[in-house]
């Protein structure tokens, strides 16, 4: 969406002197844009799901681009064709922004026995699972072991997982007043499991330590250096042989590039761990009319380090711009291996989309015949992270910029101000603020709804042994 907005704005800004015969088409399998930073708040009843799913068509009408609701099946770069469920779409220029999907293959049992947090449906399933667990536990005797399983909430890995755990802790403490049969403080347990020695393996250690200390102080159990071997029904198995029994297992440690990227052969576009390698202008080498952004793009986040004369002396090939990968027979640029890639985050995707809109508009502006001209473009792209922002619970946040850090209430307030400003429509901005306002008065949604297309027993899972079978409700 950021690429479409940027392209439309920059083409329009060119006026009569710019490209006048430009048709912009956006293809997506869903007709709404999901604001993912608020997913964990939607899962815990703080933000209404409708307020983070922003319709695409009003924006398309306002900006002046066409929208096609269809699923992309494959992409053929040599023939300049995109194959979708709505048919074949030919293009002159293409921006690939397929995003990522959950990677259940990394963990045995993750797909069947846990819930990720990647989509709006996922957040609704997490919400339903939490409410169901409270409803079921409230009917059981205190000495029933199943009660403890239902009131244990396990979040595995990921930055989003940390925010989700903090929000779950707040949520179950707020709704406890509606379940007088449950003593949340003595019975409920929220824990985060991370395989590495710190919560954010690729981030600053001091940041991980600060977050860990804050969450443990609030009552959330943090287990680092804890590798999960498999996720079974109502059980997380740990590498040391121990296990954790829980009916609420939320898996956030695995994502991968959208599989549609695999329909582009490696001989056509080089890849790094499934992500398409791009040049300094986010274009595919040898296909300068094709841009790749977001989670499916391997874009450099920092300039390529220089090769010293000593390194050249030891290995003359180190100074070349191309390296030969004998095992795969591919040619890949050195910059694709020596630089640090932009992370698969919303911040990076938005920045890349804005850059691509400017770069493509400039090329169109300088070329009235809309031919591909790689020399007419914006300055090379380099992603620079502006900082780290985390919301880890009620009035608790951590915001770290280059030269300053804000913790506690101020960090939480900055997180909210920045994120609500990034919501695309004024209506949704106001709606989210109203949701937060009601939430500040300890008002949370505790209704349990079936997710469209899902049977109720699939939502609550088969974690509870001996429970009665619920009536199946399907779309």
Residues whose CB falls within 8 Å of the CB of residue 20, separated by 6 or more in sequence, listed in order: none
C-alpha to C-alpha distance for 416 and 436, rounded to whole angstroms: 9
Distance between CA 295 and CA 289 in Å, rounded? 19
State the pLDDT at residue 20. Answer: 58
Average pLDDT score over residue span 446-456: 56
Handedness of CA 106, 107, 108, 113 (dihedral sign): negative
Q: Which residue has the higher pLDDT, 365 or 6?
A: 6
CA separation, residue 257 to residues 32, 98, 285, 294 (Å): 20, 8, 19, 9
Per-residue pLDDT reduced to its tens digit, 80-98: 999 999 999 999 999 999 9
The Cα 188–Cα 304 span in angstroms is 49
Report the distance separating Cα 189 and Cα 244, nearest Å. Answer: 11
Q: Which two tokens stand for residue 307?
A: 């090769």
Beta strands in 50-194 (DSSP E): 53-55, 66-69, 72-76, 81-84, 87-90, 94-96, 100-102, 152-156, 189-193
202 pLDDT more than 80: no
Confidence of residue 442 (pLDDT cuts 50, 70, 90): low
DSSP helix/strand/coil, 252: coil
Q: How far is CA 450 from CA 5, 123, 407, 465, in A?
A: 34, 12, 37, 21
**Predicted model pTM:** 0.81
* CA dist., res. 91 & res. 68, Å (int): 14
Q: What is the pLDDT of residues 291-304, one digit of tens each?
A: 999 999 998 776 54
- Among 242-246, 292-296, 307-311, which stretch is predicted with the lowest mean pLDDT? 307-311
Taking only Cα atoms into account, the Rg of the chain, rounded to an integer number of angstroms, comes to: 24
Residue 406, SS3?
strand
Domains of the chain: 2-99+258-265+275-365 (3.50.50.60), 104-253+386-460 (3.50.50.100)
Phi then psi for residue 84, to 5 deg, are -125, 175
d(CA 220, CA 126): 18
Other CB atoms within 10 A of residue 63 CB: 18
The dihedrals phi and psi of 186, each to the nearest 5 degrees, come to -100, -20
- Using a 10 angstrom Cβ sphere, with 0-12 exposed, 13-18 middle and 19 or more buried, the burial of residue 105 is exposed
Tens of pLDDT, residue by residue over 152-196, are 999 998 788 999 999 999 999 999 989 999 999 999 999 999 999
Task: Say what the pLDDT of residue 29 is.
Answer: 93
Taken in order 136, 464, 228, 459, the sign of the CA dihedral is negative
Instruction: Specify the pLDDT at position 370.
Output: 45
Q: Mean of the pLDDT values across residues 432-436?
A: 93
pLDDT digits (tens, 9 = 90+) for 350-378: 889 999 999 998 888 776 554 545 556 67
**In whole angstroms, what is the distance from residue 251 CA to residue 297 CA?**
24
Query: How high does pLDDT run on average in the chain?
Result: 82
**420: buried, middle or exposed (CB in 10 Å: 19+, 13-18, 0-12)?**
middle
């Amino acid at each position: 969406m950021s690429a479409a907005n940027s392209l439309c704005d920059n083409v329009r800004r060119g006026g009569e002197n710019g490209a006048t015969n430009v048709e912009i088409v956006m293809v997506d399998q869903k007709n709404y844009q999901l604001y993912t930073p608020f997913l964990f708040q939607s899962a815990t009843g703080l933000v209404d799901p409708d307020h983070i799913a922003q319709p695409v068509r009003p924006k398309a009408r306002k900006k002046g681009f066409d929208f096609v609701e269809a699923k992309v099946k494959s992409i053929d770069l040599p023939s300049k064709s995109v194959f979708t469920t709505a048919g074949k779409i030919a293009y002159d220029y293409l921006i690939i922004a397929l995003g990522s999907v959950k990677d259940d293959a990394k963990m045995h049992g993750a797909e069947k026995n846990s819930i990720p947090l990647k989509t709006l449906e996922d957040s609704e399933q997490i919400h339903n699972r939490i409410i169901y667990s409270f409803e079921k536990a409230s009917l059981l005797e205190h000495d029933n072991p199943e009660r403890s399983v239902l009131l244990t909430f396990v979040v595995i890995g990921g930055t989003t997982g940390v925010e989700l755990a903090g929000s779950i802790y707040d949520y179950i403490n707020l709704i406890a007043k509606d379940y007088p049969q449950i003593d949340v403080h003595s019975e409920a347990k929220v824990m985060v499991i991370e395989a590495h020695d710190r919560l954010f393996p690729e981030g600053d250690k001091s940041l991980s330590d600060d977050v860990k200390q804050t969450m443990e102080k609030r009552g959330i159990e943090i287990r680092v250096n804890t590798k999960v071997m498999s996720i079974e029904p109502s059980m997380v198995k740990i590498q040391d042989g121990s296990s954790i029994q829980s009916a609420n297992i939320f898996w956030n440690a695995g994502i991968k590039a959208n599989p549609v990227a695999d329909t582009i052969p490696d001989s056509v576009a080089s890849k790094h761990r499934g992500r398409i390698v791009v040049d300094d202008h986010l274009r595919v080498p040898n296909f300068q009319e094709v841009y790749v952004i977001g989670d499916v793009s391997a874009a450099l986040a920092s300039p390529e380090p220089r090769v010293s004369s000593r390194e050249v002396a030891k290995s003359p090939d180190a100074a070349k711009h191309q390296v030969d990968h004998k095992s795969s027979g591919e040619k890949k640029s050195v910059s694709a291996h020596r630089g640090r890639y932009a992370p698969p985050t919303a911040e990076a995707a938005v920045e890349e989309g804005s850059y691509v809109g400017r770069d493509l508009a400039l090329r169109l502006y300088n070329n009235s015949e809309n031919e591909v001209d790689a020399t007419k473009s914006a300055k090379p792209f380099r992603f620079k992270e502006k900082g780290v922002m985390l919301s880890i619970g009620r009035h608790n946040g951590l915001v770290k910029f280059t030269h300053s850090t804000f913790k506690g209430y101020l960090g939480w307030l900055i997180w909210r101000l920045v994120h609500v400003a990034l919501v695309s429509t004024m209506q949704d901005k106001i709606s989210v603020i109203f949701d937060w306002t009601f939430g500040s008065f300890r008002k949370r949604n505790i209704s349990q709804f079936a997710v469209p297309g899902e049977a109720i027993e699939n939502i609550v899972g088969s974690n509870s042994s001996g429970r009665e079978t619920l009536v199946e409700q399907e779309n």
